[in-house]
Structure 1
Amino acid sequence: MNRLHIIILGACNSGKSSLVNMLTDQSTSLVADTPGTTTDPVRRSMELPEAGPCVFIDTAGFDDDTELGRQRISLTLKALDEADIAILLVGENLDEEARWKEILKQRGIPYAEIANKADLNRTEPDNAISISSIRDRAKNRTILIEAILRILPSDFGSRSITAGLAKEGDTVVLVMPQDGSAPKGRLILPQVQTIRELLDLKAIPVCTVPEKLQDTLSTLNSAPSLIITDSQAFANVYPLVPEGTMLTSFSVLMAAHKGDIRFFAESAQTISKLTESSHVLIAEACTHAPQS
Structure 2
Amino acid sequence: MSNLNKTPSSNRLHISIFGKRNMGKSTLINAITGQNLAIVSDFAGTTTDPIYKAMEILPIGPCVLIDTAGIDDVGALGDLRIKKTMEVVRKTDIALITVDYNGFLEFDYNIIDILNKNNTPFIVVINKADIEKPNSDFLTELENLNYPYINLSAEQKDRMEDMKGLIIQHSPMEFESPSILGDLIEDGDHIVLVIPIDTGMPKGRIILPQVQTMRDILDNSGIIHTCKDTELQATLDGLKHPPKLVITDSQAFERVSAMVPEGVLLTSFSILFARYKGDLNRMVDGAKTLMSLKSGDKFLVSEACTHHVQKDDIGRYKIPKWIDEKIDTGIDFDIVAGRDYPENLKDYKLVIHCGGCTLNRKEMLGRIDISYREGVPILNYGLCIAALYGILDRALKPFPEVNEIWKKK
Q: Which amino acid aligns with 1:283?
A: V
Q: Is the contact between residue 5 and residue 83 of structure 1 (CA under 8 Å) also seen in structure 2?
A: yes
Flag the 1:284–1:236 CA change in 2: closer, same or farther, 3 A.
farther
Flag the 1:150–1:274 CA change in 2: closer, same or farther, 3 A.
closer
Flag the 1:286–1:33 CA change in 2: closer, same or farther, 3 A.
closer
Instruction: Tell me the SS of whatever aligns to 1:187.
Output: coil
Aligned pairs for 1:235-274 (under 5 A) are 235-274=254-293
Offset, 1:246: 0.8
Work out whether 1:119 is the aligned partner of 2:130.
yes
Instruction: Tell me the SS of whatever aligns to 1:268.
Output: helix
Counterpart-to-counterpart distance in 1, 2:77 and 2:190: 55
Equivalent position to 2:91, from 64, 75, 82: 82
Work out whether 1:285 is the aligned partner of 2:306.
no
Offset, 1:93: 5.9
- Give CA-to-partner distance per residue, 1:63-116, whole Å, 9 cap, x none: 223332222111111111111110111226612222322221121100011122
Q: Which amino acid aligns with 2:181?
A: T
Aligned pairs for 1:83-122 (under 5 A) are 83-91=92-100, 94-95=104-105, 96-122=107-133
Q: Which amino acid aligns with 2:40?
A: V
Counterpart-to-counterpart distance in 2, 1:263 and 1:158: 17
Counterpart-to-counterpart distance in 1, 2:65 and 2:224: 33
Instruction: Count residues with an aligned counterpart.
Output: 289
Partner of 1:16: 25
Aligned identity (percent) is 40
Offset, 1:168: 2.3
Instruction: Tell me the SS of whatever aligns to 1:198.
Output: helix
Q: Which amino acid aligns with 1:103?
A: I
Partner of 2:77: 68
Instruction: Tell me the SS of whatever aligns to 1:108.
Output: coil
Counterpart-to-counterpart distance in 1, 2:303 and 2:68: 25
Q: Is the contact between residue 11 and residue 93 of structure 1 (CA under 8 Å) also seen in structure 2?
A: no
Work out whether 1:187 is the aligned partner of 2:206.
yes
Work out whether 1:171 is the aligned partner of 2:181.
no
- Give CA-to-partner distance per residue, 1:257-288, whole Å, 9 cap, x none: 2234333322322355455x453536253523
Counterpart-to-counterpart distance in 1, 2:63 and 2:182: 23
Partner of 2:49: 40
Larger CA deviation: 198-207 vs 256-265? 256-265
Partner of 1:132: 153
Offset, 1:57: 0.9
Q: Which amino acid aligns with 1:141?
A: M
Flag the 1:212–1:8 CA change in 2: closer, same or farther, 3 A.
same
Q: Is the contact between residue 6 and residue 86 of structure 1 (CA under 8 Å) also seen in structure 2?
A: yes
Aligned pairs for 1:135-174 (under 5 A) are 135=156, 137=157, 140-157=159-176, 159-162=178-181, 164-174=183-193
Partner of 2:228: 209
Which segments of 5 or more consecutive residues in structure 1 lack a partner in the other structure?
A: none
Q: Is the contact between residue 169 and residue 204 of structure 1 (CA under 8 Å) also seen in structure 2?
A: yes
Counterpart-to-counterpart distance in 1, 2:184 and 2:123: 37
- Give RMSD over aligned pairs: 2.2
Offset, 1:155: 2.5
Q: Is the contact between residue 103 and residue 134 of structure 2 (CA under 8 Å) also seen in structure 1?
A: no
Large movers: runs of 4+ above 6 Å:
none
Q: Which amino acid aligns with 2:39?
A: L
